[in-house]
Amino acid sequence: MRFLFVGDSMTIGRAGDWTWRYRMWRHLESTLPGGYEIVGPRTSLYDPAADAPASEAYADPAFPAPARRHLAGWGEGWLHMAPVIGDTVTATGADVLLISLGLIDLGFYTNSEQTEANVRAFVAAARAANPRVRAVLLPVIPNVRAGYDAPFAAECARFNELLAKAVADLDTAASPLLLASVPESYELDADTYDGTHPGPSGEHKLAAAFAGAMHQAWGLGGPYAP
């Protein structure tokens, strides 16, 4: 089974991060040993000094190169991923998409309705490439901007409602979709390093959200154990 991580800055991570992708790799290693592959066209972390995805300086240098693969980008959202997901699924043979997107869209590019339209375009393109592709979608999680920007907070809440409806509308037996739960007790001070991007405890909570959804709905893997 081939897993593809799709996301924005919270998924690609920056130089020196562990990343929630690393936490999920450790989970897959313990629950699906030999029965999975991580795929994707990219491997790098974002390097603030270069302002580009140019770093391989993961917190654990033993993180295997094949497990570093992803489709994530600093400043990229549903708007950017919808046009490329079809070709990526075709090229990688991805079976399961683990998706964390939306915050950057709402913050800089599109409103909630436009973002939801890009979600639907993304799903359609992924299914055109693989009619049996599965996906787990994470809602927009708590972030510092929503605490002081009321219109932005309202857009995040509205998008999460639209995302839940889209997942319910588009879910099929052949190509199931899951909506992951926003991590319980996600605290900006404790679980992020800047109010948005996850630190180590936040990374575990994001990985647990995806792992829990897959295990409960599909019996895939097992309970998440940090």
- 72 in a structural domain: yes
In the prediction, which pLDDT does 184 show? 83
Query: Domain containing 18 — which CATH number?
Result: 3.40.50.1110
Mean pLDDT of 5-16: 98
d(CA 81, CA 78): 5
Angle between helices 200-218 and 20-31 (to 10 degrees): 40
The reply to whether 224 falls in a domain is no
pLDDT above 70 covers a percentage of the chain that reads 100
Q: Could you read off the pLDDT of 201-223 as tens digits, one per residue?
A: 999 999 999 999 999 999 999 99
Output DSSP code: residue 33.
T
Interval 121-135 mean pLDDT: 98
* Phi, psi at 198, each rounded to 5°: -70, 140
The pTM is what? 0.98
Domain assignment of residue 223, yes or no? no
Residue 36 structural domain: 2-218
The amino acid sitting at 149 is D
pLDDT at 226 over 90: no
Domain count, the chain: 1
Scan for tokens 């799903």, then name that residue: 123
Backbone angles phi, psi at 43, to 5 degrees: -135, -15
Q: What's the confidence (pLDDT) of residue 200?
A: 98
Specify if 45 maps to a domain.
yes
Note whether residue 109 is domain-resident: yes
Pairing verdict, β 52-55 and 45-47 = antiparallel
Q: Average pLDDT for residues 73-90, to the nearest whole number? A: 98
The reply to whether 225 falls in a domain is no
Report yes or no on 150 lying in a domain. Answer: yes
Mean pLDDT, range 91-117, rounded to an integer: 98
